[in-house]
Amino acid sequence: MTLRVLVADDQHLLRAGISGILRAAPDIEVVGEARDGEEAVELAQTHHPDVTLMDIRMPAVDGIEATRRIVAAAPDARVLILTTFDLDAYVYDALRAGASGFLLKDTPPRKLIEAVRTVAAGETLLAPAITKRLIARFTAHPITPAPTPEDLRVLTDREREVLALVAEGLTNDEIARRLYIGQGTAKTHVRNLLAKLGARDRVHLVILAYQTGLVEIDRR
């Protein structure tokens, strides 16, 4: 299966470089390149890409607003935010807008390609540094009552293991390799975690893992 990708970045060289990296992958087709958020929205509606790689800081319509419009028009759309900025506000705004992932532009080419595949497969993806910021923000100022360790009693021992690895930022494939189980089994465990804990998404699972004390924050 060929993944159709749209690249949106206001800098021509970066846009061309990202597109070149993706075109080198045998299973990825770049279906369009957008110079700003408004053009990204138009091209997304025209080409219906599997994944849109979206810069945040662009003229006229920025990447967050473009993401919001794309997801509003197509709720199943997958948008991967790619930027040089990892400031907290961008992370939360992007996630609230419906982004499926968040990577920094210094991500190695191989990791960028893997990220596109991961997001296309329906997973949420956050860079480790961003995940730590997200965890610290939500555990320091929780927006909902913090769950207690007893809330984890509904989980099996294996599900607890999987939850701890999700909290580390591992993908389903990485979890499968770590636990020596099939990727389908790992995916099933994550799906069960979402259902049992009433979590909205993978990011919410990360927050719950830290709030319940299953995983502790490195305060250093």
Read off the pLDDT band of 201 (50, 70, 90): confident
Superfamily name and number for 3-126: Response regulator (3.40.50.2300)
Q: Do the first three CATH levels of 3-126 and 136-211 match, i.e. the same topology?
A: no
Tell me which of 189 and 151 has the higher pLDDT.
189
Is the pLDDT at 87 greater than 80, yes or no?
no
Is the pLDDT at 17 greater than 90, yes or no?
yes
Q: Are 196 and 159 contacting, i.e. CB atoms less than 8 angstroms apart?
A: yes
**Ramachandran category for residue 215: left, alpha or beta (phi over 0 → left; psi -120 to 50 → alpha):** beta
Rounded CA separation 160/179 (Å): 12
CATH topology of domain 136-211: Arc Repressor Mutant, subunit A (1.10.10)
Chain segment 47-65, per-residue pLDDT in tens: 999 999 999 989 889 999 9
DSSP string computed for 90-117:
HHHHHHHHT-SEEEETTS-HHHHHHHHH
Mean pLDDT of the chain: 84
Please report, for the chain, the start and end positions of each structural domain, with discontinuous segments joined by +: 3-126, 136-211
Burial status of residue 50 (CB atoms within 10 A of its CB: 0-12, 13-18, 19 or more): buried
Chain segment 103-131, per-residue pLDDT in tens: 888 889 999 999 999 888 877 777 666 66
